[in-house]
Amino acid sequence: MRFGVLGTGRVGQTLATKLVELGHEVMMGSRSRDNENAVAWAASAGDAGSNGTFADAAAFGEVLVNAVSGDGTLPALEAATADAIAGKVLIDVANPLDFSRGMPPSLTVSNEDSLAEQIQRAFPATKVVKTLNTVSAPVMVAPEIVPGEHVLFVSGDAADAKNIVVELLQSFGWPAGSIIDLGDITTARGPEMFLSLWVRLMLKQGTPIFNIGVQTG
Ligand SMILES: NC(=O)c1ccc[n+]([C@@H]2O[C@H](COP(=O)([O-])OP(=O)(O)OC[C@H]3O[C@@H](n4cnc5c(N)ncnc54)[C@H](OP(=O)(O)O)[C@@H]3O)[C@@H](O)[C@H]2O)c1
């Protein structure tokens, strides 16, 4: 399958590399065609990897990944263009974090709204699926590095899109039973607000390699 990965940071690089390892073709998108990270990644990825602008990557991908900073997300998707992302699954892994006042960051949207909902409202013809934002980049593609049973959340309005994403997550190594479909796109609020706790846990434990489990009684 062809993927457009929007974002050149740790997450974009990690997901793009895993997708190529799994046999997919990936174009990494950025604000500029000569972004150093993206050019270096494409050079290391072989024939299945390439890079371009956000618009190039959006046009290339059958499935898209939003791995852009929270504040850059809507501008990046506008640059990708509504037409190019219409009808496509957009896997949104971004967190609406504001680091302008240092650590810990605050959330730029919460409670009765979320970044995922802002994306879905701005691009109604795109099938937004929120997932993976509650774990660090290494855990996203190698859940086995965290011992024990732990979970991942999926939120989105389109059932067919969530099925595609759940299948992809399983190919990353997430057991079917560890993936919790929370419901429609409004359910992305919880996983995004979880970042307030995630950051505190990371600071307390001194590592981003952890995750949470859900036990029922
Ligand atoms: N790091 C993690 O382990 C982790 C875990 C879970 C979720 N996340 C979330 O995943 C996303 C990516 O995180 P990251 O650490 O890989 O990278 P990041 O530094 O948060 O984001 C890098 C990307 O954002 C783009 N960007 C920044 N400002 C922009 C703007 N004003 N307009 C358009 N694009 C803009 C950059 O574009 P250029 O390529 O043009 O520079 C770059 O591609 C974030 O939302 C983060 O919260 C991160």
Q: Is residue 202 left, alpha or beta, with left meaning phi > 0 and alpha meaning psi from -120 to 50? A: alpha
pLDDT of residue 184: 99
User: Which residues neighbour 149 within 8 Å (Cβ) at sequence distance 6 or greater?
Assistant: 178, 213
User: Which residues neighbour 136 within 8 Å (Cβ) at sequence distance 6 or greater?
Assistant: 202, 208, 209
Nearest CA to ligand 1 atom 38: 30
Cβ 4 vs Cβ 27: under 8 Å: yes
Q: What is the DSSP letter of 185?
A: G
The minimum-distance atom of ligand 1 relative to the CA of 38 is: 39
CA-CA distances (angstroms) from residue 177 to 50, 163, 166, 180, 188? 34, 14, 11, 8, 19
Give the residue, out of 54, 68, 109, 153, with the most ligand 1 atoms within 8 A of its beta carbon, to mutate for a pocket test: 68
Q: Choose among 17, 10, 63: nearest CA to 37.
A: 10
Could you give phi then psi for residue 52, rounded to 5 degrees?
A: -170, -160
* Interval between CA 71 and ligand 1 midpoint (Å): 9
CA-CA distances (angstroms) from residue 94 to 4, 60, 67, 215? 15, 21, 6, 26
pLDDT of residue 32: 97
Pocket of ligand 1 (CB under 6 A): 7-12, 30-31, 35, 67-72, 75-76, 93-95, 97, 133, 136-137
- Residue numbers in the chain where pLDDT is lower than 50: none
Nearest CA to ligand 1 atom 9: 94
pLDDT of residue 119: 99
Nearest CA to ligand 1 atom 23: 68
CA-CA distances (angstroms) from residue 166 to 9, 73, 84, 158, 207? 23, 23, 23, 12, 27
* Interval between CA 66 and ligand 1 midpoint (Å): 9
